Amino acid sequence: MLLEVTELTKRFGGLIAVNAVSFAVAEREVVSIVGPNGAGKTTLFNVITGLLRPEAGDVRFDGRSTLGVAPHRLATMGMGRTFQNIRLFAHLNALENVMIARTARTRAGVLDALLWRDRAERARTVEQAEALLDWVGVGANRFRMPSELPYGDQRRVEIARALALEPRLLILDEPTAGMVAREAHGVIDLIGRLRDGGMTLLLIEHNMNVVMAASDRIVVINFGERIAEGPPAEIRADPRVIEAYLGVEE
Amino acid sequence: MTYAGLEPVLIFTLLNVVMVLGLYVTAMSGQLSMATAAIAGVGGYASAVLTVKFGWAFLPAILMASLLSALVGVALALVTLKMRDFILKLTTLAFGEALAVLAFNWDYIGGANSFTGIGLKTTIWTCVIATSVALYVAWRFDGSRLGFAARAVRDDPIAAGAMGVSIAEVRGITFAVGGAVVGMGGAVQGHYMLVISPHELGFFISLNFIIFLLFGGLQTLWGPLFGAILLTALPEMLRFTSEYRLILYGLIITLVVLLRPNGMLTRVPTGREWRLFGYVLTPARPIAPPSAGVKPLPVAATGRPVGQAAAQ
Ligand SMILES: Nc1ncnc2c1ncn2[C@@H]1O[C@H](COP(=O)(O)OP(=O)(O)O)[C@@H](O)[C@H]1O
Ligand SMILES: [Mg+2]
């Protein structure tokens, strides 16, 4: 298993945001986490990516425990992510945003910069960032600042940035949140292409049609607890899921 | 004004440029240091001690002073690593004041009586060379891998970390490089002033550099360069209205801060054209045509070579 989450618990004061949640993601698998707002999905992602420390439980990435490992180390180990509320670097343009994620994959130090020994590496970084932006469909807008881009394009840049890490696992937190239908369709199409490209995905997504179509497995969370896990067909028919999501049908 | 009258102004302008470029590099990772004058003082005292007490030559003394200032810069970076906003500024301020108090009480370097008897080594040309070195270092670092990583940390430390950038490494490096530049400036200044007193390490001197930086703009190195030159030269140019000089000076800065909160100059991002008063100086890079058809992922998914993943 590429990612193994066991009995993970995260509290905020008295609130148990994540309560003994377990699941795993195998290589090349697409796993979706679904659940109502406030269920603890983002908190779960933040613990996995090292931004929050859990009170109990364990996260293993590629067999190694990630507890206490700094976020930038986890990123370097191959955990790429996007944020529910897009977090691009506001004073860097799209191209430079993507180039940042190559920092950990390149070497040039201060001395190399002073002695002009970093030019070949930088040219390659620019090339790779441009190829990625082209692949996500923002090639023509690669010199724009994040604030000059429509929301859908900002998300594409954020995905390209995470891809520049050469991630082994790509974690997407509500990639279509707040988008108009046309933008959302573009991003959903992009997720399909990632899946077809062999990328291992861990996804939070509210659009159930997308989740059902794209996922190999679905984990359902409610009030911080895992209430169901299984392939889409099973989840669709699970009465606990229908209850949590749609309210009890009389 | 004769050249003899102008030379001190030129020298101080150049020295201010060196200091503010060091502060610019330091601030690239988001920690606005209030200890610039103190770091410069480390350079000044170090070079003074090495030349006067140990008989070192000027150049090696400057290099060693630079190195020591870089180390003190790294110490400051480590102390303030997890700090933000108000607490951060207060801590850098306290760090600088602590160095001033140390200098005040350390008899070996003159204590309250200042360090006197420093040899006159600095000429206008020394300052021109020091400024060129500072500009070169700031310019090369500005566009480097670590320079951009520093900007990312300044914009959003959490996102930068999630993209594999080590905040500690980047902050340590900007404080080291910035400290080295500031320390060089302090050393060169010491051999012009011939006296260093603990007062010169104080916060009010540091504040000048912060004003130059914020006035010129901290996104591009041309900002602090412009800010330091204009704001050092401006008071001299405004001499004729000496009574109202400070008021006018304050008014200009207030206007700039209100009208251009990001400073006078802004950065030209990669690929965009450079413009001056509407004239295009360098053409932008061509916009790529939208790619057609399905392409394989241009990075290796799950660590496998490109293309292999898509083939399965
Ligand atoms: N940093 C925090 N401090 C305190 N409470 C938090 C914090 N982050 C999230 N929470 C709480 O934890 C619960 C789960 O939130 P979240 O993980 O964002 O839910 P989801 O992403 O499923 O909508 C919510 O009740 C939220 O208010
Ligand atoms: Mg959420």
Query: How far apart are alpha carbons B66 and B40 in whole angstroms?
Result: 9
Domains detected in chain B = 3-259 (1.10.3470)
Q: A237 pLDDT exceeds 70?
A: yes
Chain A residues in contact with B153 (beta carbon < 8 A): none
Give residue A247's pLDDT band: very low, low, confident or very high (50, 70, 90): low
Interface residue A30 vs chain B (CB under 8 A): no
Look over chain A and give the mean of its residue pLDDT values, rounded to a whole number: 93
Q: Is A82 in the pocket of ligand 1 (CB under 6 A)?
A: no
Q: Report pLDDT for A209.
A: 83
Q: A250 pLDDT exceeds 60?
A: no
Domains detected in chain A = 1-78+167-250 (3.40.50.300), 88-165 (no CATH)
Report ipTM for this prediction: 0.94
Q: Report pLDDT for B274.
A: 77
Contact between A145 and B269 using a beta-carbon 8 Å cutoff = yes
Per-residue pLDDT of A132-147, as tens digits, reads 999 999 989 999 999 9
Query: How far apart are alpha carbons A96 and A168 in whole angstroms?
Result: 22
Which of B177, B265, B299 should one mutate to test binding to chain A, selecting the residue with the greatest count of A CBs within 10 A?
Answer: B299
pTM given for the model: 0.92
Interface residue A85 vs chain B (CB under 8 A): no
Which of A49, A61, A84, A100 should one mutate to test binding to chain B, selecting the residue with the greatest count of B CBs within 10 A?
Answer: A100
Q: Whose CA is nearest to atom 12 of ligand 1?
A: A17
Question: What's the average pLDDT block by block, 10 residues per block, for chain B (312 residues)?
Answer: 80 96 96 93 96 94 97 94 85 92 90 88 94 98 96 97 96 97 97 92 90 91 93 74 71 82 86 75 65 59 40 34
